[in-house]
Amino acid sequence: MNRITLIFQVIAVYYAIPSHAEVRATCDQNVDVDCPCRDSSEFLALRWYKMSGETRYAVISTSDNGNEKSSFHRPAMFGERNSLHLPRVTPQDSGIYKCIILAGINRPNKECTVNLLVHVCTPTPRLNVSNTHVNSSKHIEGLPVMWSVLGYLSVSLVKVLLSCATILVIRACHIRASRGVGQN
């Protein structure tokens, strides 16, 4: 009877531990994804995977001696309590992550999943406040403004010159007209 009770206890503990969690994050935020089935017991290895259907892609893994190995396409490291730390997440980081704990001898291995949901990045308007002394990398940002100002100044100068020329032509015509009237 003890073995049957032990089996039921193990099954009850297995189902009592949450195996699927959800983490929501804002774009460009650093995120720590905790392994829901991680407890304080020792383990031989802990591995994080990103799932794509039934295929899993290794993110990072460690062993009891502290060695870490990451082969993920973006920076990933371990955070507190072996959480998966992803710096500056984007919506492409959203998905199902699997945490697998390889336990010691006579201990059950554990496997749980976490759904990471990263909200869409919304561009925030940047004010370009700079000193009068601008370095060469900032000239590219100010280039359209500079050309706009030069264009407006050029158009204004051409208008002034054309106005002056028009006034001179009108005066010359007026003077000729007044001389011509006086000779008849």
Model confidence pLDDT, tens digit, residues 40-64: 777 888 899 999 999 988 898 886 6
Mean model confidence pLDDT for the chain: 79
Greater confidence, 72 or 8?
A: 72
| The 20-25 sheet, strands edge to edge | 20-25, 110-118, 95-103, 43-52, 55-63, 68-70
DSSP code, position 81: G
Residue 140 pLDDT level (bands cut at 50, 70, 90): low
168: which 2 tokens?
Answer: 């001179």
Q: Cβ atoms within 10 A of the Cβ of 102, count?
A: 16
Q: In one letter, which amino acid is 62? A: T
Residue 10 pLDDT level (bands cut at 50, 70, 90): very low
DSSP code, position 146: H
